[in-house]
Chain A
Amino acid sequence: MDSLWSVIWSTDFAFSILRVTTPILFAALGALISNRAGIINIGLEGIMLVAALTGVVTSAYTHSAWVGLLCAVLSGVMIAGILAFFTLQFKTHIILGGIAINMFASGGTVFFLYLLSGDKGASSSLQSKVLPNVDIPLLKDVPVLGPILSGHNVLTYASIAAVFAVYYMMKRTPLGLRIRSVGENPHAAQSVGVSVVRTQYTALLLSGLLAGLGGAYMSMGYLSLFTRDMTAGRGWIAIAAESMGRSTTVGTTLTSFLFGAANALANALTVLKIPSELIATFPYAATVIGLLVYAIGESRKRKKAAVKPNEG
């Protein structure tokens, strides 16, 4: 058991939690914004994948990681825009639209990768750029905290900043208020002059932007290349994190970190004498426990609502 503690109580482990959580957190915040506006964006996985490829390709051709990042984010917004166009303009069912985006991304990224690099599996023949890691002055010299919090990829810090930005936007800005009102009662919102479609458009584009950042992190920060289906379900985990966090910014952030920590723990435990099959169940066990907590909370809420029927 000694070695278990030495694995968990190490700065490397704490550092890895932040690193693992970043893409999940970005996508979960994206899910949150669209969900609060009343449309479930299940195309996050696909959006991340497209953004990951776009970032790699554009950074390789422009020799600039920042241009790559910008294009990756724009591509995320664009795909979300296409999704919004079909679901809001033509009333395609949002779930069908999301599935289409995911399938298009899975096959389409390989197709474009093949067109551009002659390769169907990985972008290792492209000289793509990587976004820098940032050492925070002063903080980096603090024992324990320094090695944990300093030296992360710039997008990891951006994901933390995004948490505050989303929190502020949802709570304190007119846009946040419109998004929440449209999500809770579109007819009421419309009756006071809020354009439901325009608000949902904005929400979907913002969720595309955040998922785009998550995708860019995958291929330009976390890793230095694009590979086929490299997001490997992180967009779906984000949707789970968002719903477990009950669509609140704080809850979503906490559950994202819970998933990140469970994954990091599973990774760290492989060096110990624990059967690999058992370790592989860790993230799922964490999900089950999380859902249990969620279910208990929900049923309590329902009981409360039952006691005070007038407010329901």
Chain B
Amino acid sequence: MQMATFFGEVLSVYSRAVEEDEEDDHENEEDQQIRSEIEEKRKVHVEWCSEVKNELATSAEKGLHCSDLVVAVGPNAAGFLSAYVLSSEIWSPVGSVSIWNERNPGSGAMLQSESSCVFYRQKDSPSVLICQCTCYIAEDQLFQWAESVFSCIEKRGLNVTVLSDCSLAEFKTTESMSSTSPFLRALKTGLYRSQISCPLLEQPNIVTGLAAAVVSHCQVHQIPAVLYQSYSDVITPDSVTMETYKPAFLNLSRLIKLDANPNADVLKKLIRISDPQSNMYT
């Protein structure tokens, strides 16, 4: 939809109008076949290393026994875990989610470096599972992601913590936000009883994407879960935004040790990605 403004330029505007629903009534066989093949290709697959596979095969409930699952969505959340958690102890990758979609055509094989949705575990205390997710997951794959991942994890005794990045521009408030960003807001499911270390997400703000899919799954299936969303006005990963996630780990401090200082090498690598590549002055 396009709209001309008072000054004459044409803007495309977001419309809430809804198309009349007349989809795939007259689809021929070939179209249907192509569509079903694409659907098959877009399926979300969770793959585990042989050790975890054995555990899954031997467990009675066909699920991993975890006390905590930490899901980090977005470059800052994932970067925070890389710099403060995963660098410090003996965390090793134990699985990944392979996702194929329009922005993610390459992701496939298990535990490869380009796979950007990876699970980590500590060798000596495997009760905490960490998932770093920086790849794009399409709208139709979000629900599936939650279903597939949670089908591998035993629901009893599980607590879920989600860290998620969000742009400050998405935050709706009547107050001025200029000096406060980045900041943290929380959302919790009905069964989550622990203390929350930041304000709750105010109405009318909502969360979407993988974070929403995970907390919705937890709410519906009665798993205690909390989501910490960091609102930042920097588009690229940065150390200040990463630091905002620190309070989220207060409840997990018994199980996960945070480094006092971030691992500088990891941080450098993460932040260098966003350095301007072609700038007239560099």
Q: Do A and B assemble together?
A: no
By a beta-carbon cutoff of 8 Å, the part of chain B in contact with chain A is: none
Residues of A within 8 A of B (CB): none
